[in-house]
Amino acid sequence: MGAIVYTFHDVSTQKQLDEDQATERLLYDKLTGLPNRALLEDRTERAILFAARANEPLGVLLLNIDRFKDVNDALGHTVGDAVIVMVAERLKTALRASDTFARLIGDEFVALLRCSDEESALLVASRIEAALEEPFVVDRQPIALSASMGISFYPDHGTNGGDLLQHADVALQNARLLNTPCALYRSEEDEHTARRLGLRAELRDAIEQDLLFQYYQPKRTLATGRVEEVEALVRWSHPAHGFVPPSEFIPVAERWNAIKPLTLWALRTGIRQSAAWTAAGLDLAVSVNLSARDLHDRDLPGAVSDLLSASTVDPRHLVVEVTESMLMVDPDRARFVLDQLRALGIRISIDDFGTGYSSLAYLSRLPLDELKIDTSFVVGMEQSEHNQLIVSATIDLGHRLGLTVTAEGVETESTLNMLDAMHCDLVQGYYVSAPMTADDLTRWMYRDGEQG
């Protein structure tokens, strides 16, 4: 009779390992290894119970990486995923061991800050901001990132995780609106948030139905006293809310991906108006402001080329204005778009000069035609020798770089005279004229003999 061999295998260890792996997949983010939404919700409930028993505050910090979509669009999702992993590693170092740090989705992270009042929560936010200062390097390419954060607190802003997260999101949107890294939730902001959500859909309708309009502010050449260029300023008269300031609807456009159609509307309208002025015997160039997103849109030059081809406008009669800070978000992509626009014959102006942190060596390589000195330096010239020195040095710098220099914010005759003595090329501001409609500007030009 043959021998029977029995083999025994203890499957309990393997079963436990499989269960642990299944739990990890359910509760932890696959990419970063951080807690996911499910685990965050569980820990939030526990943290609220602990805070209630201990009579202590609990902070909820919601964080979004600014313009992260641009990273994915430009460099691909593989690089985007690598950046998210590095961001997660850095941000963990800004938190305490007792805090929970989770990834919700995409570039959205949440931190539960136990026993945190406003002061300690803002300290964490500043540590997070500092952790992101150093560029991230992927395949030897540096990527500069920043974040927007909103913070809410238990029990003042909610007694459950859903309310706290929603109110942290309200604060985050307010931080973006105010262009600040972090904001605390304030109940009075809810009304503004609801309004912004309404404006989101209505703005698209206003663009598509041509319900926006443009004002134009003249720029006077000091050497001749003539006006040969105007800046186009988009305005929105809402049927229910009345005048909606650009400081409110432009961030809405940027947040909800309406900035491209808004920019194209402004360009199209400005080009048409320049053609109409030429037909009326007024030789006026029109400058249009671009946003940071526009500078990263490689399709923009082609769209502008089509607009010019459909018109009779000389490309030199179109100027695009970009701010110094926009250029430094992604300098290489910005330079690509500006080079393509310049190749069309369009002039390039750098706006708000002096408020950013750009490299002069970098600026010297850009296809620029004009440098505009920020209003904050010009307005205080009469009372501040320091501002006078800054303005004078900026004019000299611009001329050495071969650029035309315009001073914004000119409100008095004495300021204009000082700028003239410094050999500034053009001035813009309420002393020359307030912004006005195209019809009013036409009448103003003829009345004051600006048409030559």
Which band of pLDDT confidence, cut at 50, 70 and 90, is reported for residue 452?
very low
Instruction: Indicate the range of 169-173, 198-202, 222-226 predicted with least confidence.
Output: 198-202
Contact between 131 and 147 under an 8 Å Cβ cutoff? The reply is no
- What lies within 8 Å, CB to CB, of 173 at 6+ separation is 150, 193, 196, 255
Residue 35 and residue 149 in one domain: yes
Residue 266 and residue 181 in one domain: no
Which band of pLDDT confidence, cut at 50, 70 and 90, is reported for residue 22?
very low
**Per-residue pLDDT at 209 exceeds 90:** no
Task: Give the residue from 160, 187, 214 where a domain finishes.
Answer: 187
Within a domain: 160: yes
At 383-397, the pLDDT tens digits run: 889 889 999 999 999
pTM above 0.85, yes or no: no
Residue 176 and residue 153 in one domain: yes
Task: Give the residue from 159, 187, 215 where a domain finishes.
Answer: 187
Within a domain: 6: no
Distance (Å, whole) CA 281 – CA 449: 12
Task: Give the residue from 187, 217, 242 where a domain finishes.
Answer: 187
Residue 150 and residue 205 in one domain: no
Residue 141 and residue 248 in one domain: no
Q: For position 195, what pLDDT does the model report?
A: 67
Residue 206 and residue 157 in one domain: no
Within a domain: 361: yes
**Per-residue pLDDT at 90 exceeds 90:** yes
Residue 52 and residue 179 in one domain: yes
Residue 225 and residue 350 in one domain: yes
Within a domain: 5: no
Cα 338 to Cα 12, 120, 290, 405, distances in angstroms:
64, 43, 11, 19
Residue 180 and residue 239 in one domain: no
Which band of pLDDT confidence, cut at 50, 70 and 90, is reported for residue 197?
low
Measuring CA to CA, which residue among 378, 433, 435, 441 is closest to residue 408?
Answer: 378
In the chain, what is the greatest distance between 2 CA atoms, to the nearest angstrom?
123
Within a domain: 115: yes
Residue 155: cis peptide before it, omega within 30 degrees of 0: yes
Q: For position 208, what pLDDT does the model report?
A: 83
Residue 279 and residue 427 in one domain: yes
What is the CATH classification number for the domain harbouring 85?
A: 3.30.70.270
At 348-371, the pLDDT tens digits run: 999 877 655 455 666 778 899 999
Within a domain: 4: no
Within a domain: 3: no
Residue range 154-159: mean pLDDT, rounded:
92
The mean of the pLDDT values for the chain is 86
Residue 432 lies in domain: 200-447
Residue 359 and residue 429 in one domain: yes
Instruction: Indicate the range of 17-31, 32-46, 91-105, 254-268 predicted with least confidence.
Output: 17-31
Within a domain: 57: yes
Residue 243 and residue 146 in one domain: no
Distance (Å, whole) CA 6 – CA 394: 90
Which band of pLDDT confidence, cut at 50, 70 and 90, is reported for residue 102?
very high
Q: Which helix (H) or strand (E) holds 385?
A: helix 385-400
Q: For residue 227, list its beta bridge partners.
A: 220
Where helices occur in 402-448 by DSSP H, the ranges are 413-421, 438-447
DSSP annotation of 355: S
| Structural domains of the chain, count | 2
Q: For position 306, what pLDDT does the model report?
A: 96
Contact between 356 and 328 under an 8 Å Cβ cutoff? The reply is yes
